[in-house]
Chain A
Amino acid sequence: MNKTKVLKWKFDVNAFKLLGRELITDRITALVELVKNSYDANASEVFIEFYNVGTANNKNSKIIIRDNGIGMSADDIENKWMVVGTKSKRHTQFSPKPFKRKYIGEKGIGRFAVDKLGSHLLMVTKQEDSNEEQRVEIDWTIYENLAEEQGDQLTLFTEVENSLSVNEQLDKKHGTTLIISKVNEVWSRKDIDRAYKELSKIVSPFHRLKPPFKMFLYSNENEKEFLNKPIVADSIAYEADEFTLGFDKKQKKQETLQFNKKSGDAEIKLVAKPSFGFINVRIFYFNESAKRKFNSTFKKQGKHIDGIKIYRDGILATPFAEYESAAFKQRDVLGIDKRLWQSTYDRIGSREVIGIIDISKERNPQIIDATNRQNFLDNKAFEDLKDFIVHQLDQIGEYKVSKREKKIKNADNKLKEVNTEFKDAVKKLKPIIKKAKENNPLLATQLEQLETKITQTSEAVKTVVKVNQKVKKESARKENLYLSLMSLQEYAANLSHAVRTSLGKIKRLAEFFKDEFPNPKHEKLFLNYSNRIYDEINTLGKVVDFMLSYAKAAIDIEDFSVKAVIENIFNDYYKHVFEVEGIKSQVEIRDDIQLSGNKKFFEDVFENLISNSIKALSETKNKLIKCTGEIKGNKFICYFSDNGNGVNKEDREKIFEIYYTKTAEQGGAGLGLFIVQKRIHAFEGEIIVSESELKKGTTFKIELPFKK
C-alpha cells in the first residue's frame, strides 16, 4: 500500500534571531546594511538620526533612517519586503536609470538588521507617483516573548501578525523612513563616531557618483559635532597618495607635477596655458598595501582602481562610459598602458591610479568625442592632453621609485641601529654580570645562562643584518646580470661576425704563404701579408678579451681608475674601429678618481656611448668623438660628445628609454643608452643630454659623485 504525504518546511519563531542577529554580527554593520538599502533604492540623500541613545533604557530612544529613494507600494511590502530572502535585486545588477548603481545591499536580509538596533520598527514609505503612504509596524518583542514562552505548542515565525496601515498623502515626496525605537544598546559618542567612519565607506572617495549619494548624521545628544554632519569619505583612510592640480586663470597658468629629486616629492609647478585649455586634475596613486585596502572595501561594489577618466562638465565622457570588467579588454584611450612595456618596472599604469580629469565645454572646446564614441577626436589638443597626463604619471612614477628607495634605506638603517644598540647593551651588561657573579656566587649559574643567551641573540642580530645585506647585493647582482645579458645578446652577433671575418682573413693570408712561398713573383706581397697576419691576430685577441670580459662581468667588484678605463677604451679597444670608421677621437681626462664597483659595467657606459656615436656619425664628414673629464667639487664631470646627427630637444629624456631607438636602420635596438643610464645610476651618478659642445651633434654630461 502506498500513501504519499506532502511535507513542507516550517519556521519556528526563533528563526527571526537567526536571520537578524546571527547573520548581522554587530549593530554598526546593521546600520550600514540599512543605509545600503537606501543606496540601492536610488536615494540621493539619506539622514541617519540618533535620539536619546546615550543612556540605557531610555523610553524615548530612537534611531531614524530617512531617505528620498523610490519607496515601496503595498504590494512591494507584502510580496517583497515581507518575504524572507527575496531577491528582486538579484535579477539585475544595477539600479534603474539615471542612477545605475550596482546593488550593494546584502541579499534580502537587510531588513532583519533592524532587530539588532531596536525592538520596535515603524516603517513609513511612499512612492513618487502614489498618494498613499504605507506604514508597517513590527514589534520584535512579540517574537522574542513567543520564543521565550514557547511550551508544548509551537508558534511559527510566519504566523506572527504585523500590521500595515495606509494613509493618504498628497505631496510629491517619496522615500522610506525607518523609525527604530526601544533601542537595545547604548550608543556613546564613540560608537556614533565609529558608525560615521563605517558609513563613510559606502561611497568610494575616488569615484564620482552621479547622481550623488549624500549621507547626513544627526545626534541630538552630540549636536555640536553631529548636526546633520555630511558623511564624507576620507581618501586618506586608504593610504592613497593624492595629487590635485588646478590652474590660475588670471596668470594664465596651468599646474603640473614635477618630480624633485632633492625632496623626493612630486611637486606642483606652473606652466603656460596648454593647447587643450585649462583642466582640473585629481590623481590617486595606490601602492600595494593601499591597493589591498581599497579592494577589500570596494571591490564588492564594482569599484576598481581603473585608471584615469575624463569628465566633461561633471559627466563621464563617452569614450569611458562603457563598463568593461575584463581589464585587458579595456580600451587604453589615453595611451597610458601602451607605454608600460617601454620600461621595466618603474612606470605607473592604470591599475595603480584612479584619476579624474575635469574638462568643460567652455574651457576645453578642442577635446571632442570621436563620432564612433570609442575615443576622442585625434587632434593636436588631445595629443597634448595625453602627453600631459602621461607626464603626470611619469612624475608620480619617479615619486614611487624614490619612496621605495627611501623605505629600503630606512629599513637598512634601522637594522644597523638595532645591531649597534645591541652591541652597546651587551658591552654594558657584561661587566655588570661579572660583578654580580662575584658578589653573589649563588646566582652564577643563572647568570651564566643569561650571558650565553645574550651572546646568542647578539649573533642572531648580526646574522640578520648580514643576510639582509647579502639579499640586497644579490638582487643588485641579478639586475646587473640581467642587463649585461641583454647587452651581451646585442654584441654577440657583432662579435661572432668580427671573429669570423678576422679568421677568414688570416686563413687566406696564411694559405697564400703555404701555396706560394717562396715564389719571387710575390716577394712584396709576402712582407705585406706577414704584417697583416700579425695585426689581424692582435685584433682578434682584443675581440676575444672583450667577449671574455662579459663572461666574468657579473660578480667582480674592484677599485679602478676612471681615467685609465676611459683612455684604455679610446686608445685600445676602439682604436681599430675608429680607424675603419674614419673617426677622429679626442680624449682629455685631466683628473682621475678611483671608483669601486664593477669595472666592466663602467666600460659598458663608454662602449655603448661610442657605438651610439658611430651610428650617429654615419652621415657626417669630419667625424669626431670627444671625451673630457675633470673634478668639480666632489663630482667627477665627464662630457662625451660627437658631431653626428644629434638629438632633438623633445627626445632628450626619451633616448634613455629601453627599446627607444632612432637608429633602427643602422641596427640600433634601443638598449645602449638604457644600459648606459642604468650603469651610471649604479655608480650613483647621473647622465643627461646637454647642449652640444661641438655646435653639431650630441653631448652627454656624466656626473659621478665620490668621497674625497
Chain B
Amino acid sequence: MKFKDIHILIIDDDFASDDPLVIKLKEIYKNVIVRQPKDALLFIEENLSQQMIILLDVNMPHHLDGHQVLEKIRQKTFLIPVIIFTAIQEEEETFADFINNKAAGFISKDASSKDIIKMVNKVALESQSQIDNALEDWIEKQPDEIKTKPYLSSNGKSYSLNELLKEIRLQTELGKRMSGDITKLTIDLLSRNKNNK
C-alpha cells in the first residue's frame, strides 16, 4: 500500500489548514491541501498526473457549491475519487447528481477525525486497484530514462509513459482505448494462467 503517494485535497470555504484532521491525514498521506472551490479546481487541473482523493464540502455560500464543483471535476476526469463531506441532510433528488457523478463516499461534517480517515483510507485502497494507479505503480518502478522516453506512438504522435498516464487520467480517446486494452489483456492473461494450470 502506497498511501504516501496520494494527495488529499479538502475543498471547503471554512476549514482551518491546521485542523486536527489535516494533521492526522498528513501522517498517512503525501500532502493535505485545503482550498476554496475556485483555487481547488485550478489545483486539480495542474496536478492531474498526481494521485489524489478529494473531500468536498457541499454548502459553501458565495462560492460554487459541492454539486457544481463535482460537476466541474467530472467534466475533466472520472478517475479522482471524491468524498462528499457535508453538514446538510440533502433530499434524495439533490443527492442523485452526486451519485451520477460517481461520488466515492459520503461522510458527515460532524464525524470524528478517526471516522473520516477510515473513510479516506477505504477509498484510497479501492483506488489503488484502478488501472491508472496500478500503471503508475508500475511506472514508478521503471528507471527514470524510460519514464520520459517515447514509449508508444499513436496517430503519428509519440508518448512517454508519464504522458500515457496523463492521457488515461484525462480520459482522452487514446486514454480510454489504452485502459480498455489493458483490462482486456489482463483478463486474457489471467484466464491463460488458469488454463495452463
A503→B110 contact, CB < 8 A: yes
A580 touches B14 (CB 8 A): yes
Q: Is the CB of B61 within 8 A of A511?
A: no
Distance, CA A139 to CA B109, complexed state (A): 99
Docked-complex contact B62 and A504, CB < 8 angstroms? no
Q: What is the CA–CA distance of A493 and B94 in the complex, to the nearest angstrom?
A: 14
| In contact, A666 and B61 (Cβ under 8 angstroms) | yes
Q: Does B19 contact A (CB under 8 A)?
A: yes
Complex Cα spacing A618 to B108, Å: 27
Residue from A500, A528, A614, A666 in contact with B108 in the complex, judged by beta carbons closer than 8 Å: A500
Structural contact, B20 and A512, CB atoms closer than 8 A: yes
Check B19 against A508 for contact (C-beta < 8 Å): yes
Residues of B within 8 A of A614 (CB): 62
Assembled-state Cα–Cα distance A145/B38 (Å): 104
Interface residues of B in 1-35 (CB under 8 A from A): 14, 16, 18-21, 23-24
Contact present for B112 and A508 (CB under 8 Å): yes
Residues of A within 8 A of B24 (CB): 512
Nearest Cβ on chain B to A515's Cβ, whole angstroms? 8
A512 contact set on B, CB distance < 8 A: 20, 23-24, 113
Q: Report yes or no: A511 in contact with B20, Cβ–Cβ below 8 A.
A: yes
C-alpha gap A581/B16 in the complex (Å): 15
| Contact indicator B87/A511 (Cβ below 8 Å) | no
Q: Which A507-564 residues sit within 8 Å CB-CB of chain B? A: 507-509, 511-512, 522, 525, 528-529, 532
Q: Per DSSP, are chain A's interface residues mostly helix, strand or loop, or mixed?
A: helix
Taking A503-B110, A580-B14 as contacts, is the C-beta distance between A497 and B20 under 8 angstroms? Answer: no
Q: How far is the CB of B120 from chain A (nearest CB, A)?
A: 14
Residue of B nearest to A513 (CB): B20
Q: Is the CB of A500 within 8 A of B87?
A: yes
Question: CB within 8 Å of A: which of B100-127?
Answer: 108-114
Contact of A497 among B23, B87, B111, B112 (CB under 8 A): B87
Map CB proximity to B onto A652-687 as digits: 1 under 8 Å, 0 otherwise.
Answer: 000000000000001100000000000000000000
How many Å lie between the Cα of A505 and that of B182 in the bound state?
A: 44
Specify the chain A residue showing the minimal Cβ separation from B59: A497
Contact B87 A504, beta carbon cutoff 8 Å? yes
Query: What's the minimum C-beta distance from A498 to chain B, rounded to whole angstroms?
Result: 8
Q: Is A634 an interface residue (CB 8 A)?
A: no
A667 to B58, CA, bound (A): 13
Residues of chain B with a CB closer than 8 A to A507's CB: 110-112
**Please, which residues of chain A bring their CB within 8 A of the CB of B62?**
581, 614-615, 618, 666
Determine whether A468 belongs to the interface, using a CB cutoff of 8 Å to chain B: no
Do B88 and A504 have beta carbons less than 8 Å apart? Answer: no
A500-B108, A500-B110, A666-B62 given; A505·B19 CB < 8 A: yes
In the complex, which residue of chain A has the Cβ closest to the Cβ of B13? A580
Chain B, residues 42-62, CB within 8 Å of chain A (1/0): the string is 000000000000000001011
Q: For A615, what are the chain B residues with a Cβ–Cβ distance below 8 Å?
A: 62
Query: Which residues on A sit within 8 Å (CB–CB) of B16?
Result: 505, 532
For residue A501, CB closer than 8 A to chain B, the reply is: yes
Whether, in the assembled complex, A496 has its beta carbon less than 8 Å from a beta carbon of chain B, the answer is yes
**Bound CA–CA A666/B65 (angstroms):** 10
Q: In the bound complex, what is the Cα–Cα distance between A497 and B14 (angstroms)?
A: 12
CB <8 Å contact, A508 and B113: yes
Can you show 11 pairs from A to B with CB atoms below 8 A apart?
A: A497-B59, A501-B87, A504-B87, A507-B112, A508-B113, A511-B113, A511-B114, A512-B24, A525-B18, A525-B20, A667-B61
Residues of A within 8 A of B (CB): 493, 496-497, 500-501, 503-505, 507-509, 511-512, 522, 525, 528-529, 532, 580-581, 614-615, 618, 666-667
Known: A501-B14, A504-B109. 10 other contacts (CB 8 A): A493-B88, A504-B108, A507-B112, A508-B19, A508-B21, A511-B20, A512-B24, A525-B20, A532-B16, A615-B62
10 closest cross-chain pairs (CB), A and B = A500-B87, A512-B20, A504-B110, A503-B110, A504-B109, A618-B62, A508-B20, A497-B87, A508-B113, A501-B87
